[in-house]
């Protein structure tokens, strides 16, 4: 795992060509923040990789190259942990992921639990972006207190 000298925007992709929209969103954020772009994909070690995955990854690698991004592929049965370690090591300023489908594995929630200080941008199939931001527990308690006063 290479360690970047400067913070980066980190994009998490799966072995689907449609993930190019995530790399494009990450590239836009990286350009706005004037940071390098890093792309990561984690395959479950227990499932391995099939021929279709290789073709999709080749497409994604080409997309990453278009934006001068590094791309790392890992095999591990704890993808959220691998992404969290890579994000911490590479000082990710933002993590970009796809939007979770119904019945998702909880990947995004786990990353957010491990790294609550790093904002996560989720990108849906229409390229709409949703932010998961850090929250202050005291502010939430104050909001609850105020809402009880209003009702």
CATH code, domain with 94? 3.40.50.620
Q: How many CB atoms lie within 10 A of CB 34?
A: 7
Residue 119 C-alpha from the chain's centroid: 9
Whole-angstrom CA distances from 127 to 112, 121, 130 are 21, 11, 10
When pLDDT is averaged across residues 43-55 and rounded to a whole number, the result is 69
Query: How many structural domains compose the chain?
Result: 1
Residue 49, domain member (yes or no): yes
Residue 20, domain member (yes or no): yes
When pLDDT is averaged across residues 99-124 and rounded to a whole number, the result is 87
Query: What pLDDT is stored for residue 143 in this prediction?
Result: 76
Write the pLDDT tens digit of every residue in 135-144: 666 776 777 7
pTM of the model: 0.82
Where in the sequence is the domain holding 54, given as residue range(s)? 8-150
Residue 77, domain member (yes or no): yes
| Rounded CA separation 62/22 (Å) | 13
More confident residue, 52 or 130: 130
When pLDDT is averaged across residues 52-65 and rounded to a whole number, the result is 83
């Amino acid at each position: 795992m290479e360690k970047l000298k400067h913070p980066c925007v980190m994009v998490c992709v799966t072995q689907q060509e449609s993930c190019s929209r995530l790399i494009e969103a990450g590239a836009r954020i990286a350009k706005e923040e004037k940071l390098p772009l890093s792309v990561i994909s984690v395959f479950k070690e227990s499932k391995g990789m099939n021929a279709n995955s290789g073709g999709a990854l080749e497409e994604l690698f080409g997309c990453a190259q278009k934006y001068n991004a590094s791309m790392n592929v890992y095999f591990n049965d704890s993808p959220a942990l691998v992404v969290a370690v890579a994000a911490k090591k590479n000082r990710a300023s933002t993590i970009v992921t796809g939007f979770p489908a119904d019945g998702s594995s909880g990947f995004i929630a786990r990353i957010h639990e491990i790294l609550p200080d790093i904002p996560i941008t989720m990108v849906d199939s229409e390229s709409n972006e949703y932010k998961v931001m850090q929250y202050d527990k005291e502010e939430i308690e104050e909001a609850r207190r105020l809402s009880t006063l209003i009702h």
